[in-house]
Amino acid sequence: MLGDIDDRLKPIQPKYFIAKPNGEIVSKISEAYDDRRVASLTSLNTLSFKIPFHMEENNRLVRNRNTDLIRERYRIKVELGHKVEWYIVMKITDVMGDKGDSKEVECLYLPQELNDKLIRGYAEEALNASEVLTDILSLNRNWSVGYIDADFQLTRRAFEFPDNTLLDAIYSVAETYNAIIEWHTDTRTFDLVKPELHGINRLGTFSYQRYLKSIDQESNAEVVATRLSAAGNDGLGIQRLNPTGQNYIEDYGYWIYPFERDDQRNVIRSSYYMSDGLCHALLDYKALIEGKEKIFGGLVSRTNALNKSLAVKKDELVELKTELAAINELRLTQQFNGLMFYEVFQFTGVTRQFTYPTKLNNKYAVLVRVNDAVGKTLVVNGIVCNIGNNGWSLSRKIDAGNSPSPITISLSGTGNTEVFVQIVSISNMEFAKDNNEDEIIGRYSDYRKRDEIAAKEAEIASVKAELASVHEEIDEITSVLSTSNHFTPDQLEELDAYILVHHFSDDKYIEESDLYEAAKEKFKEIQTPQLSVGIDIVNFMSCLEEQRSWHQLYLGDKIVIKYERFDLKVEAKIIEMDFDYANNKIKLTIAHFKDLTTRREQLEKFIYDSKNTTSIVDLNKSKWGQAVVDTSEFGQLFEHFWDKVTNQINMTVNQTVQIGENGITITDDNDPLRFLRLTNGQIGLTRSGGLRYETALTADGLIAEMVLGKLILGQRVTIGDPDGIWMTEGPRTTITDRCGRMAMKLGLYETSPHDLYGMIINRYDSDTLCSPTVMNRIIVNSEDGFKIQRKKISTFDDVFYTSLDGDLYMKGNFQAGEDEQIFKVTHTGLQLGGSDWATAPFHADMYGNVWMNKLFADSADIKNSIFKDGHIEGSTITLRNGGGVMKLDPMLGLWAGSEDFASSPASIGMDGTATFRKLIVKDKDNKLLIDGENRYIDVGGFDLVGAGAIYAELISAKMVTADSGFISDLTAGRLSTLTNEAKNGWFDYLTIEGNSMKWITGQVDGEGTDKDLPDGRALYWKDSSQQGQMTTEKTPWRVKGFDLKKKVKLLIDFKEHGDDAYPRSAWGLGDGMVKDDSVKDNIDNHKSARGFIEKPAGSFDFIYYAKNNAKERSLRLKDNGVYLNSQDDSFNVNAKNYKFDVTSGGDLKITHANGCEIEFASDGSLKLKSSVGMNFNAPSYHFA
């Protein structure tokens, strides 16, 4: 009966078991004492107990075997009636005491396992609770997530774990969502539950006469705020949502209470704190803000719309500039290769004609823009072509073919206008495609693209001007709402005492609206003084009379505390329970107080009704992303829930069915929070003790947080959350995002002009919140295959697409790989192995030019090509055409004209030996320089530099002087020791020219003239000394040719010619009176006043020709004697003691130093003279 007491019932006592880490039970602990268990909502549960070293058995003490079995990190299983908890042994202490020796064991709740695992370097921007917990728990094998409130799975937040344990990370997630963790150690799972759906009031009210032993109440105003500023991720604030333009929420309701006035502003009741005047001003200010709310909201909406439009136009401008950059890159490439030409001129009525070259097999387009085309005729290659008026037009496409000829353009007519002409090389596809004129102009014409950019910049300037005007209106409202305009200085001074500022900051908020809502929740907590209540209760768990309440005490439940003398009635949550089983005590820690008194309800109502802060909240949020779950996960999910529910239903026992006025209720005493209730027209299922029915079946339909199944039948299925809506109608599915924009269509997505099945995905402008501008579309269907489209002003252009035959087309750039290990295709060409096209190891342009570092090929057919700066390894090369052959073998060398290297007429061996039977070398003017067959080399056509030695029968050149050429470092074309000292005065040098050598004294005559080579190349000295080596490379020192004043002082040459020639030397300058044509001295063939040494056959002659008359004075050493000659003049010989004189008259006189003389007169007489006498001694004397 009701009120009966069951004497057989006893309070639940825990049972303890020792287990290994794998859960294997080792022993039961029945001897534990001083056991204590603390259960907490905010931290891990703890357990402590003692076991004795010795126990009495059969009246004697024996060693307790559990003291040897229990070890650190072992598990302790605790049975609390039907509930099982697991703990980890963390600390064991051996204690010697008065009551005997014992082991003190301290344990932590089993989730401590997660504190032994680390997560590092984890950072994600937008994950829901399920996703981030799945990532965290992927680092362990045992723990998994159980129930997660549906709202936590719909809300995305940013998470960062630089170096955390898994347990710390899980608590961080729970803190982020303000969730309570319920641990299930028997299954190693945990749930995340909303605080408002956790715990119910099972124990009723604690009062002076029921359970309450003592009570303390404290009201603390240390942390009270009237103004709360807010900050989110990256400096996010809420000022944009506030008409006052401030980044804070402000409320003075607590301090105004209980002020009341009527419609005529008569004060009915005054505030406990503020003056009536200040209360009036605050309420008037609130009314003013509310009056401006609608206008402010309209301006904010207009600002959003203009910002969206501005973002779209900026995107379009960026796209135009990107297209211009691509055109410029293409222009540079084509101009470098001689494939693009420009002509800009002012047409004045005079016919203008231009000609442009073309290249083999290239296709061209002629683009023309004439500002005023009236009365003008354009002719391209003899054909009259179209001219657009004040716009670009493609006048004609031209195929250069195999025999390219120039493109000739002429413009005739009347009038005066500006004309632009552009010749571009186009692809074969562009040439063959019809009606693609605008596409070609858009791709190649940088002039038109600049016009489009200028027009778009003008549109942007217009939107910015309009946006500035709206901002001025917003600033005007903000100025009107300035507090200085609505409060007197005295009121502001009084109000200052009530401005209590606090700051709320949380980096996980990335949306203004989310930050605003969180700030409001935080503001509620600190708007009024904090209430603190401490209680001491009777241990009803040991009272037999309260046995019906033994099962009503749950962690997280709510209790009501009432004490009339304090006018106290609060509701609080049990956040910790401390069970001291040894002393039969229970200590409760309570928190989260709610004042239930009538005056508190009135105060809260006043505060909420009198808020003076109005915010325009934009509920549209940027898309964070969509959760993606594959079929295998769904399959596992279905099987998991089906198996679990099936087993729970089939194995259910201990069910209690209650029938009453509130319907039929089915409960389980071991799981009281979950029950089923049937009422008229509805069935409800709850897991929160009836605080909310998470699943309900009514006459109107099914309502549930989660619906699982394999088959859903219906004409329309709609699934939605704040992130968007999935709607399936027959053969089509439409997915809209949180902004109400169509994000995707599946199935039958188009019916006109014919049915198209497939998928279409829209990409919107991401720079502007909820922009309606579609930037790209992705389409997959049964007719076209796959394609990506890009918006181009008002149309969509296919930029990436396939055909049903498997062909792939792409207009944009393509890249595979990263860093320098990439393959990339751009408008310039393709590249491999480098991020820069020009320096990539392999790159090719759009005109078939290819650059690569190495080429490996088993077989290659290369035509009309040049191989430059490359390497061929490990191969022989044979070039053959008809009867001709050329071979390259790395073992032999290069040869041509024969199959065999040794017999080939032209070959180069591996040692550098080159053999050519015929060698012809010509210069650019086709002048013969070398003829190997005829053994001819024209050295005059070459510059010989740095020759160590030259062996030749003849070296001929011209000198730098007026009549001389040069051989560098020999300064000769004869041979010459002439230097630039001759410019300073008379200088002695010698020359060798032809068959003569001259010793000359010379001097420069005049300033000189620049010297050039015969082919016109200018000559320069290599250094400032202006002597020695010369070069054709430009230096500051030009080589000049000078006229010389020359005096030949010695000439050595040949006299006569051929076989009769003999050497001769001419000494002295001569007087020029008598000439000899055989003397080639280049100074009038002087003979007189010169001496000669000659060596004719049979004679060695020393001759001097007298000045003025060139009469001979000579000594000739002949085979038949020595001959002296002094033509027509005296002959004198002087020797020691003797003197010979031959006079011009023919007398010969021999004189001795002692005075003796012999004279042969010209008349035939003989004269003898002796200074001491004459002696004649002869065998005979004869006198005629």
**Token code pair at residue 848:** 């078939």
Biggest alpha carbon distance in the chain? Answer: 214
Quick check: 112 pLDDT over 90?
A: yes
Q: Is 77 or 624 the better-scoring residue by pLDDT?
A: 77
Q: How far is CA 1022 from CA 1004, 1019, 1026, 1038, in A?
A: 22, 10, 7, 9
Q: 188 and 255, same structural domain?
A: no
Cis peptide before 772 (omega within 30 of 0): no
Specify the pLDDT at position 239.
Answer: 74
CATH number, domain at 174? 3.55.50
| Confidence band for 15, pLDDT divided at 50, 70 and 90 | very high
Give the mean model confidence (pLDDT) for residues 1090-1115.
Answer: 89
Domain final residue, candidates 84, 116, 148: 116
pLDDT at 250 over 50: yes
Task: Give the total number of structural domains in the chain.
Answer: 9
Which stretch of 529-543, 547-561, 1093-1107 has the lowest confidence by average pLDDT? 529-543
Owning domain of residue 1080: 936-1126
Residue type, 504: F
| pLDDT tens digit sequence for 633-683 | 445 555 555 566 666 665 565 677 788 777 888 887 777 778 888 887 788
Residues 63 and 74 in one domain: yes
Whether 464 is covered by a domain: the verdict is: no
Q: 112 and 123: one domain?
A: no
User: Using 50, 70 and 90 to split pLDDT, how confident is the model at 5?
Assistant: low
Which segments of 337-436 does DSSP mark as H helices, in order?
428-432
Provide the β-strand partners of residue 1169.
1157
Average pLDDT over residues 537-561: 67
Q: What is the pLDDT of residue 37?
A: 92
State the Cα–Cα distance between residues 141 and 608, nearest whole angstrom: 49
961-1005 pLDDT per residue, tens: 444 444 444 444 457 777 767 777 788 888 887 788 888 888 887
* In-domain check, residue 1101: yes
pLDDT at 731 over 80: yes
Q: pLDDT at position 844, please?
A: 87
Both tokens assigned to 823: 């393959």
Residue 881 shares a structural domain with residue 733: no
1160: part of which helix (H) or strand (E)? Answer: strand 1157-1160
- pLDDT greater than 90 at residue 716: no
179, 59: one domain: no
Strand partners of residue 1142: 1131, 1148
CA distances from 327 to 263, 596, 1112 (A): 72, 74, 93
The 8-class DSSP code of residue 654 comes to S
- Mean pLDDT within 403-427: 91
Question: Do 973 and 1110 fall within a single domain?
Answer: yes
Q: Residue 762: name the closest of 795, 801, 800, 789 by CA.
A: 789
Do 260 and 403 reside in the same domain of the chain? no
**Looking at the domain assignment, is residue 650 inside a domain?**
yes
Which of 693, 710, 727 lies at the terminal end of a domain, its last residue? 710
CB 788 within 8 A of CB 776: yes
Task: State whether 128 and 103 are in the same domain.
Answer: no
pLDDT in tens, 696-711: 887 667 787 777 665 5
Residue 80 has pLDDT above 70, yes or no: yes
CA distance 590 to 568: 16
Residues 639 and 747 in one domain: no
Q: What does the DSSP 8-state code read for residue 1106? A: P
**Percent of all residues in the chain with a pLDDT value above 90, rounded to a whole number:** 16
CA distance to 110, 166, 557, 1051, per residue, from 43 (Å): 12, 14, 17, 122
**Would residue 1183 count as lying in a domain?**
no
Q: Are residues 1096 and 1013 in the same domain?
A: yes
964 and 1113 fall within a common domain: yes
Give 303-337 pLDDT, tens digit per residue. 888 888 888 888 888 888 888 888 888 888 888 88
- pLDDT on residue 715: 64
Q: 807-846 pLDDT, tens per residue? A: 887 777 788 888 788 888 887 788 888 888 888 888 888 7
442-488: pLDDT as tens digits = 889 888 888 889 999 999 999 999 989 988 888 888 888 777 788 88
The residue assigned the tokens 């740095």 is: 946
Distance CA 393, CA 441 (A): 7
What's this model's pTM, rounded to 2 decimal places? 0.43
pLDDT at 621: 33
pLDDT score recorded for residue 607:
46
CA 467 to chain centre: 34
Last residue of a domain, one of 92, 116, 140: 116
The verdict on residue 384 lying in a domain is: yes
Q: Is residue 851 part of a domain?
A: no
**Within a domain: 850:** no
In a domain, 315, yes or no: no
**CA distance readout (Å), 969 to 226, 538, 975, 1019:** 99, 123, 11, 14
1120 in the same domain as 981: yes
